[in-house]
Amino acid sequence: MVEDVFGKCSLRREQSWERKKKFLEHLSASGNISEAGRVADVRRSTLYLWKDTDKEFSSQWEEALEEAADALEAEARRRAIEGYDEPVTYAGRVVCDPDTGNPLVRKRYSDGLMAFLLRAHRPARFRPGAEAEGRSGMISISISRDDSAL
């Protein structure tokens, strides 16, 4: 009977570790605690108990959130600098190339994301009010199809 109890405890620890691992993997991808808990099939209250009582898990939790934030920042930077393709529409319909039948797309860039990233990484120069201190937050971006123009 004692072996039964130890066997059950060992199994529960192993199952808990598997759920923790699944939670952390999804948390690093999504950055969403509730969603990661649902994927791992663990209640929020249990997650926070584990976080409060397990220093290693707590540290891994914080690292997973940092990884999720890094992924968001990388995507914001990509959209601001490399842009993204947006289908051309007319009267609510996607316009297609008459020769190929493929949808026409135009490259879009996010000036808002660019400004946000500059304020985050160069706050002394691009934060609101920097103009009053004699530093302009204005930037000029020229986009050309010809790389030699750069």
pTM beyond cutoff 0.85? no
pLDDT in tens, 111-120: 999 998 999 8
Q: Which residue has the higher pLDDT, 120 or 64?
A: 64
Q: Is the pLDDT of residue 55 over 90?
A: yes
Amino acid at 20: K
Has residue 76 got a pLDDT over 60? yes
Phi, psi of 86 (to 5 degrees): -125, 130
Expressed in angstroms, the distance from the first to the final Cα of the chain is 77
> What is the percentage of the chain residues whose pLDDT exceeds 70?
76
Ramachandran angles phi, psi of 98, nearest 5°: -65, -25
The pLDDT, as a whole number, for residue 2 is 47
- Mean pLDDT for the chain overall: 85
Backbone angles phi, psi at 106, to 5 degrees: -125, 145
pLDDT at position 127, please? 80
Q: How far apart are the C-alpha atoms of 10 and 7, rounded to whole Å? A: 5
* % of the chain at pLDDT higher than 90: 62
